A and B are shown apart, each in its own frame.
Chain A
Amino acid sequence: MKNKVAITGNEAVAQAMKQINPDVVAAYPITPQTEVVQIFSSFVSNGQVDTEFVTVESEHSAMSAAIGASAAGARAMTATSSQGLALMFEMVYIASSLRLPIVFPVVNRALSGPINIHCDHSDAMGIKDSGVIQLFSENAQEAYDNMIQAVRIAEHPDVLLPVSVNFDGFITSHALDVLEVLDDDTVKSFVGRYQPEEYLLDAKNPVSMGNFDMYDFYFEHKRQQVAAMEAAKKVIEEVGKEYEAISGRKYGLIDAYRLEDAEMAVVVLNSAAGSAKGVVDELREKGMKVGVLKPRAFRPFPFEAVQEALKKVKAVAVLDRAETFSTLGGPMFADVRTALYDLKNDIKVVNYVYGLGGRDLRLEDVEKVFGDLADIIKTGRADKFVNYLGLRE
């Protein structure tokens, strides 16, 4: 049974958490994630979930408690944003290297300073090299769907890694959206019972985790994490197919929108992909061959799928909602450009940094990007490969 509801992204994610009914949730409130935790805590106090809710004193402790719970054998979750994720940073690495399948929504918000509470992806990009799987969501529906699938991806025996589910602060988290939610039983049977192969409270099979690891073994354990990330690509696709069977909605590593015959493409994460798709529809009416590529998985980076989707285009613009301050553009630009380099198709790849600190990406901005790409194709030259979109220059 499917129910159409009008709720915000935060409500949708709290709803997903309720239906997953995790054993432990440890979290600390931070804008714009606060509602997720607040709504979920009301489910706890109303007895609608069996979750042990741990009110911790910081995000560092939130992830620590989730790590302890997960290592002990519980299905554990946390949730955060921005500064909270930054404070959690140290423990995120512990979670991934101990191979604990903790699922945590990250409601994307800029990092201070100057202080700002609005959307960009600086928080998520800070942990892109930490060994966690990162899923991105265009809207409340995808945030809800990603949460449910994240549990299965994280806990798959070939993967066993934390999964963060990203969605845009305020734009997705606080705006009312119409979406379809699954009924409780469907979600319950989809996520199944968590049965870890090994856990600290298993007295019959004792295990010691988080051991001291020297130069003679640490390197091998990092290689194991890469293998788990590699395996995650397949698992994300398989779980996506299973989820399609219960929801009717398709999920893979990437979302390729009108790319089949496209000459120009925009690559963009999260809610901005929705705006870009709208512009693509308009430009298609005018006969322009344009499309959008939205990576759903950013870590692991699905470079094979990106190559396949973009191999025939002539020019690509990567839109980054974060800076790296490397003077070489945004974080996703580096990955996409690297993926396309070996194709040797002379695809021109340029970068646009946009929307920092919550600045809107206007439809005219996306139109301008496609206009620039058309010029690049016409002249065969891309002189300026790092650009700022919507900035007062």
Chain B
Amino acid sequence: MTPFNRNFGQGRNTKAVRLDMNWKELTKAGNIYEPGNAATYETGDWRTIRPVWNKDRCIHCLICWRYCPDASIISTDGKFDSFDYKHCKGCGICASVCPVHAIDMFSEDEIDRREEARKNEE
């Protein structure tokens, strides 16, 4: 027998799969060898609307933290801290459960346009 070729799926011990990996480097059949790897898969670029926090209104009840399906509300010392925009999919659940309307959803396109305009002014 000739020695094994292993012409695919060389990422046997790959902890994370990355977008820059080609078909030879990726794990065979998409098998996953490390638990908790969802953190390495950035779902933030699925987002078309972005939650934005209104610091003055927030009463730090953390209802948004409990409801966020993607664990994308970061809290520190029992208080609202920030959004994890790398994983927030922009579902808007946080905005709709917030009892004091301290989260607003803005279109990503609109935010991009505004940033572009600001850069041009500078």
List A residues at the B interface (Cβ < 8 Å): 97-99, 156-158, 160, 198, 205-209, 211, 213, 216-221, 223-224, 227-228, 230-231, 234, 238, 242
**Which B residues are in CB contact (< 8 Å) with A160?**
28
Q: List 8 A-B contacts (CB under 8 A).
A: A209-B29, A217-B26, A217-B30, A223-B23, A224-B24, A224-B28, A227-B23, A238-B1
Selected from B9, B19, B33, the residue in CB contact (under 8 A) with A224 is B9
**Which B residues are in CB contact (< 8 Å) with A223?**
8, 23
- Given A157-B4, A158-B4, list of 14 further CB < 8 A pairs? A97-B29, A157-B6, A158-B6, A207-B33, A211-B32, A217-B26, A220-B22, A220-B26, A221-B23, A223-B8, A224-B23, A227-B7, A238-B1, A238-B2
How many residues from B make CB contacts under 8 Å with A? 23
Once the chains are docked, how many angstroms separate the CA of A157 from the CA of B3? 10
A207 with B31: in contact, given A220-B22, A220-B23, A221-B26 (CB under 8 Å)?
Answer: yes
**Which B residues are in CB contact (< 8 Å) with A217?**
17, 26, 30
Judge whether B2 and A99 touch: CB under 8 Å: no
Is B78 an interface position by the 8 A CB rule? no
Selected from A97, A158, A206, A227, the residue in CB contact (under 8 A) with B33 is A206
Is B5 an interface position by the 8 A CB rule? yes
Once the chains are docked, how many angstroms separate the CA of A209 from the CA of B33? 9
A158 with B17: in contact, given A98-B29, A220-B26, A223-B23 (CB under 8 Å)?
Answer: no
CB distance from B89 to the nearest CB of A (A): 13
Once the chains are docked, how many angstroms separate the CA of A98 from the CA of B32? 12
Once the chains are docked, how many angstroms separate the CA of A227 from the CA of B28? 11
Once the chains are docked, how many angstroms separate the CA of A217 from the CA of B28? 11
**Which A residues are in CB contact (< 8 Å) with B8?**
223-224, 227-228
**Which A residues are in CB contact (< 8 Å) with B17?**
217
Once the chains are docked, how many angstroms separate the CA of A205 from the CA of B33? 8
Judge whether B30 and A221 touch: CB under 8 Å: yes
Judge whether A213 and B30 touch: CB under 8 Å: yes
